[in-house]
Structure 1
Amino acid sequence: MNKIKLIIKYILYSLKNAPLIFSVYSIIEVINYMTPAIKILVVAYFIDAAQVIIKTKTINSNFIYISILFFVLFFINYLINLISKELYVRLSKRVDFKFEGDIIKKSSKLKYEVLENHENYELIERIYENSENAITSALEEISSFFKIIVEIFSISIIILESSILISSIVFILLIFMAVVAYYSGEKEYDSYTKSMKFFRRAKVYDTMLNSEEMVDERVLFNYGNEIANEFENLYEKGRKIDIKITLKNIAKIKGLSFLMSLLAFGISASLLYILTFGKITSGMFISITGAVFNLIHPMSWTFSNIVKDIIKRINYMKDFENFMKFPEVRRKNSIKKINKKDVEKIEFKNVSFKYPNSNKWILKNLNFVLEKGKTYAFVGENGAGKTTIIKLMLGLYEDYEGEILINGKNQKNLSLEEWYEYFSVVYQDYVRYSISFEENIKMKDIKKCDDKLFDEVIKISEVKEVIEKLPEKEKTVLGYIESKGNNLSEGQWQKVAIARALYRNAPIQIFDEPTAALDPISERSIFEKFFSVPFKSMKILITHRLGGVKYTDIVLVFSNGEVIERGTHNELLDKRGVYYKMYEKQRRWYGE
C-alpha cells in the first residue's frame, strides 16, 4: 500500500505543477492504452472482409468502410503518439525543472549537522544522481506498465467470448509475470544500493588519480599504482554484485520468455481448434494470434525492466521524502534587507555541546564575553574546542544547552539568515571557486558596485599584485574549467579567501587559521595590515601559529572546551603558563 502511495505521489506532483499539460497527457495515454484492443478487432474485421471479397470476387461497401476505418485507426494511432511525445517534452520541461529546483532549494536550507552525517550525505548523493527527468521518467514507466496490462487484459476479454479457459490462463499468466517482475525489480534495486557504496568509494580513488590538485603528491609519493589497484578492487566488488543479480534476472526472464512462447503456441493451437467449430472467425484467429506472439518480448523482457524501473522510482521517492524531511535552518518567511548593526557584545552563557550521535561533551558550561572594539585570539591545542565554539557562534549547530547572545538577543530567537549577517569567516579549508577573480571575492554581492571597498580588501589581502599579473585582471576565470582559466598557488588562493571575508564587511570577522598556507613573513605582513584597518565591532582569530596573536587585544587559551587563560599577549607571556610554553616553541619562526 505504501508503494502505491509513493507511485501516486509522482502523479500528484505532476498534476500540481502542470495541471493542464498533465491532464491532456493522461487522457492521450489512456486512449493509447485502448488502441491495441481496437487494432485486434479492426484487423480481424479487415481480414474477414478481405476473405469475403476473395470468395465473391466483388468489393462491397462493408470492405470499403472497414478499410477506411483501418487506415483512420493507424493514422489516429500515429497522431496520438506524436501528440504524446510533444506533451511529454513539455511536461518534462515544466515538472522536472520544478522538481530539480525543489531539490536545490531544499539543499540550500539544510542544517549544517545534516550534511556532516555520512548516511544523510549518501542519501543526498542518490537524490542528485537520479534527479534528471525523475518525474516524467517515472510517469513514462507507469504508463508503459499499464499499457502492457491493459493490452493483455484486452486480449483475455476478447478471447473470453470464445473460451473462458484460455482467457483465464492469459489472465493468470499476467498476474504471475507481474509478481516475478516485482520481486526481480526489488532484488535488483537492493543490489544497486549495495554496489553503489563500492562505486562511490571507488570514485574517491578515481578523483585521487585524476584530480589536478593532487597531481604533485601523486607523482612525489608514487602512489598511483596502489590507488589504481584499490579503485579496481572496489569497482570489481560493485560490478560482481550487479552481475550476480543481473544473471539471475536474465535466467528468470529467459525462462518466462520460453514460457510465453509455449503459451503463445498453446493459445494459437486452442484458437485454431475453436476456429474449426466456427466460434471465431479466421480474421479474429489471425489477429489475436499475431497480438499474442507480439507480446512475447514485452511480457518477458520489457515488462520485467519496467517493473524494475518502477521499483527504483518508488525507492527514489522514498529517499526524496526523507530528504525533504531533513531539518532546515531557521528562516523568516519574508526577510527585508538586514542592517548590519554594530555588535556591542557576544556572550556564551553556560553553553554545553556534544556532536550528534555522540555522548561525549565537547563543551561543558562554557562562559565568556567578547566586547565591541576589541580583537581576540582563540588559541589551544588540537581538540581544545576552538573550532566547535566558532561553529556554535555562527549558528551552524543549534542543538546545544545554554545561551549564545548578541547584543542580548538569543541566537535561538532569531532567524539564522538574520544571524548570519553578523559574520564573515575565513576557514583554513577555504573553497576554490572556478569563477572569475572578482566573483570569488564579491560572491552574492557581485552586482553591488562598491569599488572603494573592493580596492581596499585586495590591498589588505595582498591579492592586488596577483590580479595585475592575470591576463584579464579581476575578470579572469580561476581554475581550469574554462580554456582561459588560470590556477593560483595555495597561498594566493588563501589570500583570495581572506579578501572574500573582508568584502562581506560584516560586524564580526572570524579568521580560522587564515594564513596556514602562507610563509611566516607573508603571514606577518597580512596581519599588520589586517589589524591596522578600522573595523565595525570585533575580530576573532583562531590559530595554532601564534605570530599574529600579538596584534590582538585579548587572547583566550582553550583546553578541553574551557577557557584556562585570558589576557593580552604580553600578560600571558609574563604569566609563563600554557600560552607562554606554546609561544616559546614558535618564537624562532618570527625572528625573535
Structure 2
Amino acid sequence: MKKAKKEKVKKLKNKGIFSNIIFSMKQINKVDKWYVPLLFVLEILRIPQVFLFPYILTVIVDGIERGKDARDVILKAMLVTLICFIVRVLQMLVESNIDTYRKEKVIVSLQKKFYRNSLKIDYEKFESSETQDAFEKAKRALYQNGGMLTIVRSTAEFIGKIFSLAIAATIIIYINLWLGVIIFGLAIIKFFLNKYARKKEQTEYRDKLPNINRRISYTDNISRNLSIGKDLRIYKMDKFINKERDRTYTNFFGILKPYLIRETTVGSFINILEAIDLLAIYGFLIYAVLTKGMLIATFVYMLAAVREFAWSLDVMVLSSGDFMSCSYIIKDYREFYEMNVFEKKETSDHPSNKVEIEFKNVFYSYENQEGYALNDVSFKIKAGEKIALVGLNGAGKTTLVKLLCGFYKPTKGEILINGVNINQFSRKTFQELIAPVFQDNVTIGMELGENISMSPREESDEEKIKQTLKIMDLTSKVDSLPEKEKAILSREFTDTGIELSGGEVQKLAIARAIYKAAPLVILDEPTAALDAFAEYNLYNNLSEFIGNSTAIYISHRLAVTKICDRVLLLDDGVLIESGSHNELMKKDTEYKKLFNIQAKYYKEGGAL
C-alpha cells in the first residue's frame, strides 16, 4: 500500500492585507511596545517639513517681489527655519531610536522565537520536503526587507502620506481641478501595474525560491564542511558538487530572468507615467504664471505642493505593492503555524524510574513508501531487561528506535511504556525516560564537558563528567588537551577548537548516555566506529554502568548479544525470532546462521 502523509497547508481564508497588518503589529508589540507607535510619530514629524521647507523660499521670494522690509522677511524666514530645525531634530532622534536599537531588537526577538518554535515541530513531519519548503517560506516574514517589519513601516508611511495628500490636494484645487484629476488618474494606472507585478512576483518567483534556496545553501555549505572534507578531495566530488550547483543556479536564473524582465517592463511604464506627471505639473503652473498672473513666490510654493501631491500618491502606490508582497509572505508565515506539524500540547508528563515496553501489532510506512518498513511487530520488554535488536542493514532496526523515541508515530498498532500509549507522552517525558545513542553521532560547538552533560558548565556535575570520561577511556585524550574538559568541540567559533576522531565521537555519545542515567538506554550501533578490541571492552563494561536501566542494543554485529537477556531478530521489517543467545544457538535459526558467519570472520582475523 502507499502511504500519503503530506501535511497540507491550511489556506487562510479572509486573511487579507488588513488582517496581516494587525497580526504583524501584535507580534511586534509583544517584543517592543514602542516600536509601532514611534513609527507613526516619525511619519507625523515628516508631514510639516514637506510644506515648511519650501515655504522658507516662498517667504524670501515674496519679500523680494513685493519689496517688503528685509528685516521682517529675514525674521519670518528664520522663525520658519527654526521650526523646521526643531522638527527635523526630533525626527532624527526618533528615527535613530528605531533604526539603531529597536529594529534590531524586534528582528532578533522574532527570529529567536521562530527558531525556538522550530524545535517543537514533529520530527517525522519536519523530514518532509513540504514542511521544509513551508518553513523556508515562513522564515521570510522575519527578514528586515519584507515581512512583518516592512508591512508595519509601510502602513505608517501610507497613513502619513494620506495626511500629506489631503493638504496638497487642497492646494491643488486652488490651481486647477483637472491637474489633480490627471495626477490621480495616472496614480490609479500605476497602482494596477504594481499590483500585477507583485502578484506575478509571488506566484512565479518567490513561491519557487524555497526549494532552490535549500539546494543553493547545501551546495555552497558542503564545500566548507569539515566532516566530509576528506571525501570531497579524495573522490573528486567537486565535479559532482559543481554540476549540481550549476544546475541549481540554472534553475534559479530560469525563474529570475522572466521576473527581472517583467519588473523592468513594469518599471519602465511607471517611469513614463511619472514623466507625464511632471509635464502636467510644470505645464499647468507655467500656464498659470503666464496667463493668470501667478506670482513667482506662489509658483514656488505651489510647485512644491503639487510635487508632494504626486509624490504622496506614488508612495501610496509603492506601499500598496509592499503591502501585497509582505502580505503574501506573512500569509505563508501564518499558514505554516496553521499546519499540523507541531507537537500536540494535550500530551502529559509520565515520569518513572523504570521502563517496561510493549509493541502491539506495530506497522510503520514512510511517506510514499510501498508496503511497510515495520510489519506487524509485537514484543514485550520487562523493566531492567537488556535486549539485543539485531538484523541486516535495512531490516527496520533504526525505524523501530525512532518510533520508540517518539520521533515517528505508528501507522497502525500502538507502543506502550509502563502500560501507557506513548502518543500521550510529552516531550519532557521522553527527555527524562530515554538516553539514546544514535547512529549519526554529533558534537555541538560547545565545551567537551558540556557535550556530555548537555547543560551549561555551571549546571553540570564536573566530577560525574570526569568519571564518565574514565569509563569510556577518554581521560588520557582529555588530559592531553590544553583546556581539558573546557575544550571547544568545533573550529567554527575559535582557532583553538578541536575535532575528535570518529571513534572518540562515538565514545563521547555513549558517555552522554551514561551521564544521563535514564531508566531506558538505547544504543543504536554504539560500536560502529570502534575496533574489535574497543568493542569487546565496551560491552564488558556497559552492563555494569547501565545497571538496572532497561537497555536496547541495536547492531548488525552480533557480539553484543552475549551480554543481553534476549535477542530480537528483524528481517525486512518483520520480527522473525526472539529468545536468548543460548536458546537461539541450540536451534536451526536465522540468528544462528548469522552469528556463525560473523564468528568465522572474527576467527579468521577479518572484521565486519
| Contact 1:198 1:238 survives alignment (8 Å) | yes
| Contact 1:49 1:62 survives alignment (8 Å) | yes
Where does structure 1 differ by over 6 angstroms across 4 or more consecutive aligned residues? 294-300, 302-305, 332-335
Q: Tell me the equivalent position of 1:313.
A: 326
**TM value normalised by structure 1:** 0.89
Q: Tell me the equivalent position of 1:491.
A: 503
Q: Tell me the equivalent position of 2:487.
A: 476
Q: Does 2:83 match 1:72?
A: yes
Q: Tell me the equivalent position of 2:528.
A: 516
TM-superposed CA distance for 1:74, in Å, is 4.3
Q: Does 2:521 match 1:531?
A: no
**1:407-422 alignment, distance < 5 Å:** 407-422=418-433
Q: Tell me the equivalent position of 1:106.
A: 117
SS of residue paired to 1:161: helix
Which residue of the other structure, out of 268, 272, 276, is the alignment partner of 1:262?
Answer: 276
**1:8-47 alignment, distance < 5 Å:** 8-33=22-47, 35-36=49-50, 38-39=51-52, 43-44=54-55, 46-47=57-58
Deviations 1:151-209 (A, max 9, x none): 45643442123211111111122222222222223333441342453343133222333
Which residue of the other structure, out of 211, 215, 218, is the alignment partner of 2:225?
Answer: 211
Q: Distance in 1 between the 2:210 and 2:312 partners?
A: 28
Which residue of the other structure, out of 567, 584, 591, is the alignment partner of 1:579?
Answer: 591
Letter paired with 2:296? S
Q: Tell me the equivalent position of 2:92.
A: 81
SS of residue paired to 1:542: strand
SS of residue paired to 2:70: coil
TM-superposed CA distance for 1:554, in Å, is 0.5
Q: Does 2:231 match 1:220?
A: no
Q: Tell me the equivalent position of 2:577.
A: 565
Q: Distance in 1 between the 2:159 and 2:598 partners?
A: 74
* 1:116–1:472 Cα change, 3 Å: same
Q: Tell me the equivalent position of 1:591.
A: 603
Deviations 1:252-280 (A, max 9, x none): 21332133123212221112223345485
Q: Distance in 1 between the 2:91 and 2:456 partners?
A: 50
SS of residue paired to 1:83: helix
Q: Does 2:439 match 1:437?
A: no
Q: Distance in 2 between the 1:347 and 1:404 partners?
A: 6
* 1:14–1:284 Cα change, 3 Å: farther
SS of residue paired to 2:119: helix
TM-superposed CA distance for 1:555, in Å, is 0.3
Of 382-391 and 21-30, more deviation after overlay is shown by 21-30
Q: Does 2:143 match 1:124?
A: no
Q: Distance in 1 between the 2:410 and 2:176 partners?
A: 69
Deviations 1:313-355 (A, max 9, x none): 22321222123234433457997xx865122x21122333333
* 1:129–1:591 Cα change, 3 Å: farther
Q: Tell me the equivalent position of 1:248.
A: 262
Letter paired with 1:547? A
**1:168-183 alignment, distance < 5 Å:** 168-183=181-196
* 1:359–1:500 Cα change, 3 Å: same
Q: Distance in 1 between the 2:111 and 2:47 partners?
A: 30
SS of residue paired to 1:348: strand
SS of residue paired to 1:68: helix
| Contact 2:365 2:411 survives alignment (8 Å) | yes
Deviations 1:261-313 (A, max 9, x none): 2321222111222334548543332234346568989987x878765554442
Which residue of the other structure, out of 383, 387, 390, is the alignment partner of 1:376?
Answer: 387
Q: Distance in 1 between the 2:216 and 2:38 partners?
A: 45
Of 451-460 and 291-300, more deviation after overlay is shown by 291-300
Question: Which of structures 1 and 2 has the larger relative contact order (alpha carbons within 8 angstroms, sep 6+)?
Answer: 2
Q: For structure 1, which runs of at least 5 residues remain unmatched after alignment?
A: none
Q: Distance in 2 between the 1:297 and 1:47 partners?
A: 20
| Contact 1:510 1:540 survives alignment (8 Å) | yes
Deviations 1:391-421 (A, max 9, x none): 2211122354433222223323332312331
TM-superposed CA distance for 1:425, in Å, is 0.5
Question: Percentage identity across aligned positions?
Answer: 26
| Contact 1:188 1:308 survives alignment (8 Å) | no
Letter paired with 1:139? V
Deviations 1:215-234 (A, max 9, x none): 21122112323422331332
TM-superposed CA distance for 1:120, in Å, is 0.9
SS of residue paired to 1:272: helix
* 1:299–1:212 Cα change, 3 Å: farther
| Contact 2:488 2:497 survives alignment (8 Å) | yes
TM-superposed CA distance for 1:501, in Å, is 1.5
Letter paired with 1:468? D
* 1:55–1:534 Cα change, 3 Å: closer
Letter paired with 1:392? L
| Contact 1:149 1:174 survives alignment (8 Å) | no
Deviations 1:513-571 (A, max 9, x none): 11212222222221121124352321101111212222211000123433211111222
| Contact 1:156 1:171 survives alignment (8 Å) | no
Q: Does 2:203 match 1:192?
A: no
Letter paired with 1:321? R
The alignment yields a C-alpha RMSD, in angstroms, of 3.1
Which residue of the other structure, out of 542, 545, 553, is the alignment partner of 1:541?
Answer: 553
Letter paired with 1:405? L
Which residue of the other structure, out of 288, 297, 308, is the alignment partner of 1:283?
Answer: 297
Of 97-106 and 11-20, more deviation after overlay is shown by 11-20
Q: Distance in 1 between the 2:98 and 2:222 partners?
A: 44
| Contact 2:392 2:571 survives alignment (8 Å) | yes
SS of residue paired to 2:142: coil
**1:349-364 alignment, distance < 5 Å:** 349-356=360-367, 360-364=371-375
Deviations 1:94-152 (A, max 9, x none): 53343223213311222112211112113323444663445434433443455556545
Letter paired with 1:541? Y
Letter paired with 2:87? I
Q: Tell me the equivalent position of 1:406.
A: 417
Q: Does 2:283 match 1:272?
A: no
